[in-house]
Amino acid sequence: MFIYTTGANVIERPDGLRVGLAFIGVIVVLSFLSRFLRTATVRGIAVELDPTAVAWLAEAAGKGQVRLIAHETRLSRTESASRYRQKLHHMRLAANIPHPSRALFLEVRVADYSDFITHTTVRGVERRGFRVLSVDGTSVPRTIAAVLLAIRDQTGMMPHIYFRWTTRSPLRNLIRLLLFGQGEVAPVTRELPRAAEPDHTRRPWVHEG
């Protein structure tokens, strides 16, 4: 009876339904706009490097180059040594990373994309014999761009970061970026420092291959 009465009222007086749908639509649009604006800037994020991360970066800078390999990870997944090994092997072939150099992996862990983070800490951790810079964030490209600029300021060198080509469609990547803070990471990471650093000679190097 309740369902019938509600349906009859909606049919006879649809104005309330229209107002409700319009209100919901405005909320959804504003939510997506807010997420896009947060993703499209690196301002407002203070990045701190823990002592281990500082030591590893100083060692890399002392050898003439800071090289980072972006590594996609999930909070629910335990990374195996083979995944790190395969990623490193691929990047050495695709990006001509010299074998003697010890590249650092960079991982961004997204717990809740709806959070608003203004401060994050880069932790140096060793996983399966590989050096990993691990950081929490709400948007992968935004967090990576902020970390790269912080590394530049810490070491005085322009860091290089290497991404692997994605096989997902551009539309799917855009949806994943807006909904979950992940997706087409490399192009967005490359563009974000443009707004934060007008001098192109002081922008980090972003490679994809």
- pLDDT for 174-203, tens place per residue? 565 555 555 567 788 888 887 778 888 898
Average pLDDT over residues 98-105: 77
Domain ranges of the chain: 2-36, 40-208
pLDDT class of 46 with cuts at 50, 70, 90: confident
Task: Work out the percent of the chain whose per-residue pLDDT is above 90.
Answer: 28
The verdict on pTM exceeding 0.85 is: no
Average pLDDT over residues 8-18: 61
**Edge-first strand listing for the sheet containing 104-110:** 46-49, 119-127, 130-137, 104-110, 67-70, 160-163, 205-208
**Which range among 38-42, 55-59, 169-173 has the greatest average pLDDT?**
55-59
Helix axes 140-155 and 15-39, enclosed angle (nearest 10): 20
- Its sign, for the CA torsion 35, 39, 44, 47, is positive
Supply the pLDDT for residue 21.
63
Comparison of pLDDT for 103 and 151, the residue scoring more: 151
